[in-house]
Structure 1
Amino acid sequence: MNETLLKESAIQQQSSIELQLKKACKKIAPLWSLENFVAVNPYLGLLENSFESTAQYLSKIGGIQMTKPSNFYLKRLENKEILKKDIQAVLEERNNDDNVHEFLNRVKFNAEAEAKAPQIFTFTDFASEICDQDWQTFYVEKMAAWAASYFDKGQSIWNTSAAFDSMHASWKFEAQTDLSPEIQGLNNFREKVKALPEDPKEAAKWSLEYLGITEKYLPFYLHKLLLNVGGWSAYIAQLDWDSKLYKKENNQLIEFLEILICAEALYFQCLWSEVNPQWFEKIMTLSTTKNLEAIDSDLEDRLVLHEAFQKASQRSLIEKLNQKKNTKENTSQKKAQTIFCIDVRSEVFRRNLEKQDPQIETLGFAGFFGFPIYFEPLGSHKKRAQGPALIPMGSTVKECAHHKSDESTILKRLQLNQRIQKTWKSLKSGAVSCFGYVSPLGLSYVFKLISDSFGFSKPSEGLQIPEGNKAKNVSLEVDDIYGISPDERVAMAANALKTMSFTKDFAPFVFILGHGSSSVNNPHASGLDCGACGGNSGEANAKVAAAVFNDPYVRQKLKEEGISIPKKTIFLAGLHDTTTDEITVFENEVLSTSQKQELVEIKNSFKLAGKDTRNERAKRMSITNKVDQKVKRKGNDWSEIRPEWGLAGCDSFIIAPRQRTSSIDLQGKSFLHSYDWQSDKGFKILEAIMTAPMVVTSWINLQYFASSVDPKILGSGNKTLHNVTSGIGVIEGASGDLRVGLPLQSVHDGEQFQHEPTRLNVIIEAPIYAINEIIENNPSVKNLVDNGWIAILAMNEEGKVTERYLGFNKWEEI
C-alpha cells in the first residue's frame, strides 16, 4: 500500500514539474531565423497580463525595461508634446491622489536613478555575485555554443546534431568531452554529467530536487533560466510554433529547459565547497516572500509618464484625421487601381502616386494578397513559406521559365553556378585548404572590394539570384499539376477581393504590387522585406495573384458569386523596392498596342511618385543633395548600416476606405487596410482583419517598441559587431547568446531614436457593437485590447474618430 502511494506521489510530482515547464516555455516569444526574419511581439507569452503588470514582472525577473527613462518624457513635456492634462488624466484613471505638481517634483528628483537590478536569481547568477568568477556568463556561453552547433543550418562544415536522437543526448556527449568547465574550476564536471539519467525528464527532476527550489519560486526560476539564454530559447520556441501550426507535437523548448536545469545543478554540485547552499536557499526565500509582490514605485511613475506620452501621441493622430474634410468617393472611371501591402512604407508612395495622377486609385491589403503559398524557385528543391507566420501555408507554386524552351538552359546555368559556389565555399572553409586559398587568391578580391566600396559594382549575394533579376525570363507556374487547384484559386480570389472591399468598378489595369528591399552584407535583410510573406519579397505572391485573377475559369466562377471582372481588365504583378522606391512591372500578359501606350503613362506616374517619395524619405536619412543617386546607392553599399528605415515609426493601423485618409500626410507611420463595413454582411471580413492583419501589425509595432525601450536586452545590439552564427541569427562579438529584436541602427540614427515608443493605435470604421462582438469572440484579440497592448478607436461614417475603447466592452467619447 505504501509503495503504491509513493508511486502515485512521484507521478503527481513529475506531472506538476512538467506543467511548470510548459507554463515557463509558453512565456517565450518565438524568434525566426535570419532567412525569414519575421517581426514578432517579444511579450507574446505574457499577453494575458496587463501591460503595466508585465512591466513590473519583467523588471524583477530579468531587468527588462518597458518604458523610457524619465528624462525622455520630461523632455517631451518641456517641448509641449506631452501636456500636463495628459498626466492628470492618467493619474485620475489610476485613482492616484497626487496632483501633477507633486508627481512631477517626485519624478524629477528620481530622474537620475538607475533602473533596479533583477530580483530573481538562478544559481549561476548567484554564484557570480559571491564568487571570484563570472559563472553566469560562462554558463550562457557554454549553452549557447552547444546550441549553435546542435541547430546549425549548414553554416558549419561539421554538423554534430545528426548523430544523436535527442538534444539531451547531444548535450551530454558534448559536456563529457569538453575540458573547459574543469579548467575553469568545476571539478569532476564530466563525471557528474555522465552520472545524470539518460531520460531528460528524470535528469531534470533529479536536478530540481538537488537544488531544493521551493514550489512558489519554481515558475520564476524556470522563466529566468530561459531568459538567461533568451535568444536560443526564442529560436527553439519558433521550431515548436511551426510544429503546432501544422498540427504536430513538438516540445523541443521543454527539453532545452531541462538541459538548462541539469547544467545549473551540476555547476552547483561542482561549486558546493565554495558556495554555502544555505546562502542560496536564503536568497531564494528573500526573492519569493519579499520582492516578488512589491511594486517598484519609480517604475510605476515612469508608467504614468509613458501612458501620458501614449495619450499625447494618440491625440495628435486623432486631430490629424478629424481635421480632414469629409469627401465623397470619386466614382469617375479610374485609369488604374494599385493594390499595395498595408506596410507603412507604402503609405508614402500611395499618397505621392495619388497626387501625381488622381485617376490611379490605391488600395491596401496584407502583402501576401490572400495567397498563403509555398514557393519553390527555379533550380531549387527547397520551398519557402510565402505567408504570415500566424497561418499555415497551402499549395506549392513552382517557378518556371516564361518560355518553356529556355528552361533547360536556365536550369543548367543555375545548377552549374550552385556547384561552383559549393566547391568555392568548401575551399575557403576547409581546415587545410583555407590557408592555400588566402595567399594566392586573396589579392584577387582587392579590385572587387574597391569597386564595391565606391558603389561601382554590387557585392555578391551568394547562391540566390534575386527574383527581380530573373523577371524577364521567368514567370510562375500556376496549373493543376504544380500549383493551386481551380477550386482553391476561386476561393482565394474571392476571399482576397472581398477582404479589401474590392468587388466592383474595376479599372482597365489592376496592379498587384508586392514589396521587397535592396541591401547587401545585411544579416537582417529579410526583416526589411514583407512580413506578411514570411520575411520574403512579395514578388511571388503578386505574380500568383495576378495569374489567378486573369484565369478565365476563376473569373467565370467569381461572376457566379456576384463579382464581375470586365474582360478588358487585366491584372499585372509588380514589385515595390522600398529601398529605392522604384516600381518594377512584370509584363508577362499579352497586351494590345493601346494597352501598351496606356501602360507607359502609368509607369511614368510610378516613376514620378517614386522620385517624390525618395525626396520625402531623404530628409529622414539626412540626405540633402543628389537624392536619387545616394538613395539608390544605399542598396549596393556593403558598408551601409541602414539602407532604409524599414517600419521604424509605425504607430497606427487604419481599417477604413481610402478616402478617409487620402491626402493626409501620415508620415509613413500608418498601416492602411482598405475596408467598407457596409458591404460586410455579418462582419466576417472585419473579424478576419482584426484577427490576422491587426495582430501582425501589433507584432511589428511591439517589436520596434521593445527594441527602442530596451535595446540592450530586447534589441540585437550594434550591427557593426554582429557575427552570423549557425545560419540562424547573430551574436554580438565573438561569443554569447543569439540576439533577438532589431539592431540599434534600425531604430536609432546615431543621435536620437527614430522610433517613438508608442503602442499601436487601431482606428476602425465600423459599428461599435460589431467591434465589441469580435473582441469578445476572439481571446487573442481580447487579451491585446483589454490588457492595454494596443488601443482601439472608432471612426464614424463621416470619417471622424469619435470614441475610444477603455477595455471590457466600455467606450468613451472623444
Structure 2
Amino acid sequence: MSTESTIHDSIDTAATTVGSLWPIHSFVTANPLAGFEDQEFSEAVAQAADLLGGRGYPSAETFRAALQRGQIDLEILDAELSEAGYENDPETLLDRMAEVTDATDSDPDTSTDRVDQVLTKWLSAFLDEGSAHWSMPNRKAGFYTAFRGVAEHDSEVPSEGIITDLPETPTETIETVLASYSESQWVPIFEQQLAALPGWTGLIKQRADDDGAWQSAYPISLEGYLAARLALLDAVGADIDPSNDSIDPDPAAELAGAFLRAWEETYRGDLVEAVATESQSLNDGDSLGRPDAQLVFCIDTRSEVIRRHIEAAGDYETHGYAGFFGVPMEYQGYDTDVSVAACPPILDPQHHVTDVPTDDETQESHDRLTGIRETADEIIETLEANAATAYGFVETAGSGYGLALAARTLVPGRVHDLFDAAENSVPDDHEFCDPLVHHQHTYTGDLPVGLTTEEKVEYAATAFDLMGWEAFSRLVVFTGHASETANNPYDSSLDCGACAGNPGGPNARVLAAICNDDEVRAALREQGFAIPEDTVFLAGEHNTTTAEVELYDSDVPESHAADLEQLRADLATARENAAAECAESMGADASSGVSETERRAADWAETRPEWGLAGNAGFVIGPRELTSDVDLDGRAFLHSYDWSTDPDGEALEAILTGPMVVTQWINTQYYFSTVDNAVYGSGSKVTHNPVGNIGVYQGNGGDLMTGLPLQSLMAADDDSYHQPLRLSTVIHAPVDRVTDVLADHAELADLLDNNWLSLTVVDPRQDHSAFEYERDLEWSPVFELADAELAESTAPAAADD
C-alpha cells in the first residue's frame, strides 16, 4: 500500500471518533459520540473523556435534584448501589461523588493555542456560507491551496519549519511532518489533532461527506485541514506525540453509573406499566365508529402535547409518523435559490420537488408584498453589517425607528400581533402553489423531478402500513411542524429533525397531494386500503412555539366545509390548552398561555422561545390507544404501529432501523449537552457569536460549539429542565418478532448490547407481559401484568385508622 493510501485510510479511521456537525442553519441532532457506539457506554464515555475532555455522566447535583423531586425510586436505587458494591446512604455517596469530581476538574494548559487561533480564523473565512462581505482568496481551489496562499502573508504564522515552503499537496505535508513517527502512531496522532477542534472537524467531516453545493464550490477535506494544522504545529515546535497527553479516568464514573441506571429504571418502569396496563384493555377490533378527522403528526415529543389536547377537544384520532412523511426528497420552495434536504440525515434524497404557481392573481399579490418586505430586510442587513451606516440610519429615521426598537423590546407580544397581521396579508406559498409531485422525466442535479405513479403508491402504502391503518375518516390531515422564533441562531434546532432541521409542512403537502391522486387511490384500493370516496387528504403545520395548527385547505371541497369549520374550532380549543401547558412548563402563568407563547415567539431578547425536545426520555411504538389516556408530559416519541397488520414484521423493521435510530441520536445529543455543556453543548446564548452562517463561537473565536445551548436544557443556572436519561424504547408486539429484526440488523443489537438505549417489549400474545432486552438477543421478564393486577384486585382493603 502506498504512503498516500495509508495516510488516507488512517485519517478515515481517526475521524470516526469525532461526530459530524451540520451547519447551524440546518441543525441536525446527532450523538456527539457516534464514533464510539461500537463500545459499551461506560467504556465509550471514558475514552471520549480522554480524547475530548468531556464528562460522561450527570453531576452529583443533578442526581440530588432528581432524588428530591422523587424521580428516582429509592428501592431501585438501593438495589443498584448494592449490586455495584456501595453500602453508604445515597446522600453520603453523592457528597463523595461531588468531592471527587471537584478535585479532578481542571483546565489543562495547551501549547497549541496559537495554532488554533490561526486555524479558526482561516476556517471561518473559508467555510463561510454567505455571511461574509469579503471572501477568502482562492477558495475555489480548495482549503489547503487557499491556506497555502495566505499563510506567507499572515503575521501570526511563524516563519519556521515546513510552513515556510509548503508542498503543493496535503499528503506531502503530512508525510513530511510525520517522518519521524512510525505508521502505528499515525492514527493516534490524527485522532488527537482532529479532536483538538472537534467542532470544526465535525463540520468539515459532514460537509465533505454531504458533497453539497458549498462543498462543490469550495472543497475542503480532513486531509487538507490536517496538513495545515500539522504544518502550523511544526512551526511552533509543538509535541504531537499522543502518548504524552491523556486525562485520568473519572473516579466517580462507576458510582454515577449506578445512580443513572436507577433513575432510568424508575422512568422506564412507569412507562412500561402504563403501556402494559392499556394493552390489556385494547379494543379487539370492534369498530368504534368513524372519527370526525384523523390527524397524523411527527413522532416528535412536542406532538404528544398537542395530540392529547386535540383528542380531548372532539372525536378525533391522532397518529404518529416520522415528520418527513416517508418521502425522501429535496425541496425547493417558491422563489428560492437553493434546495434543502427534507429527510433524515440517515437517508439520501431520492426526488426533487419544487413549488409551482397555480394562481396568477394570488401570486402577483404575494410577489408585490414580499418585495416590500425584502427591501426592509435588506436595510436591516446593511445596518447589521455596517456600524457607520447604522448610526446614520437611526439618526435620520429618528423617533419612529426608536419606537419600533422599543416595541420589539418592551411589548413583543403586540409586535407578534402586528407581524401576524402583516404575514396574513401576504399570501403563503401554499395558497397559490402546488408541489410538483408528478414525474417530469427531467433531473435537477442527480435527482429526478417529481415521482412516478408507482413511487407515489409505494410511499402512501408504506405510510398506512407503518401506522397500521385500515379505516379512513372524511378528513385526514398530515401535520408537519415548525418553530417560530426571533433572533435565534439555533432556530433550526427547533424545526423538524426528520426534515433535517427544516419545517415539515412541505413534506405534509407532498404526501397529501399523493394521496389525493385518483390513480394512486385506485392502486391503493387494489392493495386492500379501503379509502372511501368522501375521504379528503390535506396538509397542515403545527407551530410548536405557539401550539397553533395551520391547515392548508385550499383544495378541500365545499362538501367538507362543515367538517373543516368544526376541526378549526376544536384546534383552537386544543391550542389554548396546549399553550397553557407549555407556558406553565416555562415558569409562566398557565392562564396567559397563548399570549405568553406568542410573546416568546416575537421577543428578540428571548433566549428560550420554547423547550424543543428537552425532557425526551421514552419512545413508544404501538397503537395510540396505549398512551391516549396517559399524560406523558411531552417526554415520549410516539410512533403508531399495529402488530396485527404487520404479519411479516416489515413495518416494525422499518421503524426500528429508521425512527428509533434517529430518536436515539436526538436523545444522546440532549443527554451529552446536559451532562457537560462546555464540551458537548454550546454554552449560554447570551455570549454566542454567530460565525459564517455555519455555527457559533463562545466569545470572540475558537472552536465551533457542537451541541445545544444551556437555554435549551436548563430552567436556571442550577436547575436542569432536561433529565439526562438514555432512551427507553417500549414496543407493543410479539417479542419474537422484535428478536427477528434485531437478528437481521447487527448495528441495532450492538446499540442495545452496548447500553446506548434500552428496549422493552409488551407482548400481547403472552398475557401482555413485559420483557426487557438484556444482550445477545436474550430477554428477561419484567413482570407478568395479568398476575400482578389480579393480586392487587383481590388484596384485602386496608382498614381505616
Shift of 1:708: 0.5
Task: Show the counterpart of 2:281.
Answer: 326
Aligned partner of 1:199 among 159, 166, 169? 169
Give per-residue Cα distances to partners, 1:749-799, cap 9 Å, x unaligned.
114111101000111112222222222322332232111111110012189
Q: How do 1:281-296 and structure 2 match up within 5 A?
A: 285=243, 296=250
State the one-letter code of the partner of 1:334.
P
Counterpart Cα distance in 1 of 2:602 and 2:439: 39
Aligned partner of 1:36 among 26, 39, 60? 26
Counterpart Cα distance in 2 of 1:99 and 1:526: 44
State the one-letter code of the partner of 1:256.
Y
Contact 2:14–2:191, Cα closer than 8 Å, also in 1: yes
Shift of 1:564: 2.5
Counterpart Cα distance in 1 of 2:151 and 2:393: 34
Shift of 1:26: 1.8
Give per-residue Cα distances to partners, 1:417-447, cap 9 Å, x unaligned.
6577558746864698677656545876322
State the one-letter code of the partner of 1:614.
A
Task: Show the counterpart of 2:258.
Answer: 304
Most deviating of 476-485 and 59-68: 476-485
Counterpart Cα distance in 2 of 1:12 and 1:629: 66
Task: Show the counterpart of 1:684.
Answer: 650
Task: Show the counterpart of 2:342.
Answer: 386
Contact 2:358–2:433, Cα closer than 8 Å, also in 1: yes
Aligned partner of 1:64 among 51, 54, 57? 54
Task: Show the counterpart of 1:268.
Answer: 237
Task: Show the counterpart of 1:108.
Answer: 95
Change (3 A) 1:303 1:259: farther
Give per-residue Cα distances to partners, 1:207-228, cap 9 Å, x unaligned.
123xx45666543432232222
Task: Show the counterpart of 2:443.
Answer: none
Aligned partner of 2:474 among 508, 527, 542? 508
Match of 2:679, SS state, is: coil
Aligned partner of 1:179 among 127, 150, 155? 155
Figure out how many residues of one structure are paired with residues of the other and give that number: 763
Match of 1:520, SS state, is: coil
Aligned partner of 1:715 among 674, 678, 681? 681
Q: How do 1:641-680 and structure 2 match up within 5 A?
A: 641-680=607-646
Counterpart Cα distance in 1 of 2:220 and 2:32: 20
1:785 matches 2:752: yes
Change (3 A) 1:802 1:174: same
Task: Show the counterpart of 1:122.
Answer: none
1:228 matches 2:196: yes
Contact 1:61–1:118, Cα closer than 8 Å, also in 2: no
Contact 2:547–2:579, Cα closer than 8 Å, also in 1: yes
Counterpart Cα distance in 2 of 1:310 and 1:409: 54
State the one-letter code of the partner of 1:778.
H
Structure 2, unmatched stretches of 5+, are: 441-448, 783-801
Shift of 1:62: 2.4
Counterpart Cα distance in 2 of 1:465 and 1:28: 45
Match of 2:295, SS state, is: strand
Contact 1:517–1:529, Cα closer than 8 Å, also in 2: yes
State the one-letter code of the partner of 2:291.
K
Change (3 A) 1:792 1:442: farther
Give per-residue Cα distances to partners, 1:168-217, cap 9 Å, x unaligned.
11122222111134xxxx4x24x7413232210110121123xx456665
Contact 1:236–1:253, Cα closer than 8 Å, also in 2: yes
Shift of 1:146: 0.8
- CA RMSD in angstroms comes to 3.3
1:803 matches 2:771: yes
Contact 1:512–1:542, Cα closer than 8 Å, also in 2: yes
Change (3 A) 1:563 1:731: same
1:499 matches 2:466: yes
Change (3 A) 1:161 1:710: farther
Contact 1:508–1:570, Cα closer than 8 Å, also in 2: yes
Q: How do 1:391-790 and structure 2 match up within 5 A?
A: 391-407=347-363, 410-411=366-367, 414=370, 425=381, 429=385, 440=396, 445-453=401-409, 454-455=411-412, 456-458=414-416, 469-481=428-440, 483-502=450-469, 504-593=470-559, 595-624=560-589, 625-750=591-716, 751-790=718-757
Counterpart Cα distance in 1 of 2:424 and 2:145: 39
Most deviating of 374-383 and 797-806: 797-806
Most deviating of 524-533 and 69-78: 69-78
Change (3 A) 1:108 1:723: closer
Shift of 1:251: 7.6
TM-score by length of 2: 0.88
Aligned partner of 1:317 among 271, 284, 288? 271
Most deviating of 24-33 and 78-87: 78-87
Q: How do 1:42-53 and structure 2 match up within 5 A?
A: 42-53=32-43
Shift of 1:150: 0.4
Change (3 A) 1:470 1:445: farther
Counterpart Cα distance in 1 of 2:185 and 2:72: 40
State the one-letter code of the partner of 1:351.
R
Contact 1:155–1:727, Cα closer than 8 Å, also in 2: yes
Counterpart Cα distance in 1 of 2:152 and 2:395: 38
Contact 1:401–1:474, Cα closer than 8 Å, also in 2: yes
Shift of 1:166: 2.3
Contact 1:60–1:117, Cα closer than 8 Å, also in 2: no
Shift of 1:338: 0.8
Aligned partner of 1:21 among 11, 21, 29? 11
Task: Show the counterpart of 1:136.
Answer: 112
Aligned partner of 1:157 among 133, 138, 143? 133
State the one-letter code of the partner of 1:195.
D
Shift of 1:401: 3.2
Counterpart Cα distance in 1 of 2:303 and 2:426: 20
State the one-letter code of the partner of 2:223.
I
Counterpart Cα distance in 1 of 2:458 and 2:426: 27
Task: Show the counterpart of 2:798.
Answer: none
Most deviating of 468-477 and 616-625: 468-477
Contact 2:486–2:602, Cα closer than 8 Å, also in 1: yes
Counterpart Cα distance in 2 of 1:703 and 1:203: 35
Match of 1:397, SS state, is: strand
Structure 1, unmatched stretches of 5+, are: 1-10, 120-124, 130-134, 270-276
Shift of 1:253: 2.4
Match of 1:237, SS state, is: helix
Match of 1:479, SS state, is: coil
Task: Show the counterpart of 2:324.
Answer: 368
Change (3 A) 1:339 1:106: closer
State the one-letter code of the partner of 1:339.
V
Match of 1:713, SS state, is: helix
Change (3 A) 1:414 1:477: farther
Match of 1:177, SS state, is: coil
Aligned partner of 1:238 among 206, 211, 218? 206
Match of 2:529, SS state, is: coil
Most deviating of 393-402 and 477-486: 477-486
